[in-house]
Amino acid sequence: MHANPSLAQYQTIAEITAQMLTAAQAEDWETLTRLEQQCAECVRKLQMQSLLNPAAPLAGAEREAKLHCLQNILAHDRQIRELVNPWMRKLSSMISSNIAERKLARHYGNSPPM
């Protein structure tokens, strides 16, 4: 555990985003969603820590460790988006197609073609 609680929180977030990346690579969307919720909770805790106990700027090894965590978090996020975006576009297309089918059915009714 780090002496600086915010640094420990950044490390936890980096670990969760690594797990999120693994879940996205496996197309395990349920696990990804669960981990995303855990990550959001950690971010909220970090924000609360920062508001309630503003810490002095980090220096030396702690600063480097925080920078490393942030770089990992951003890299994980970028890779997750690259994996999830095509799936989201496909899902959006399926939803749009379903909506269009419903509109046509409402407009023209369910009568068989002539």
- Written as tens digits, the pLDDT of the chain (114 aa) is 456 888 999 999 999 999 999 999 999 999 999 999 999 999 999 999 888 887 778 889 999 999 999 999 999 999 999 999 887 777 777 687 777 777 777 777 765 555
| Domain residue spans of the chain | 5-82
What is the per-residue DSSP string for 20-74?
Answer: HHHHHHTT-HHHHHHHHHHHHHHHHHHHHHHHHSPPPPP-HHHHHHHHHHHHHHH
With 0.85 as the threshold, say if the pTM is over it: no
pLDDT score of 30 = 95
Query: 72-96 in b/e burial notation, b at 16+ Cβ within 10 A?
Result: bbeebeebbeebbeeeeeeeeeeee
Architecture of the domain defined by 5-82:
Up-down Bundle (1.20)
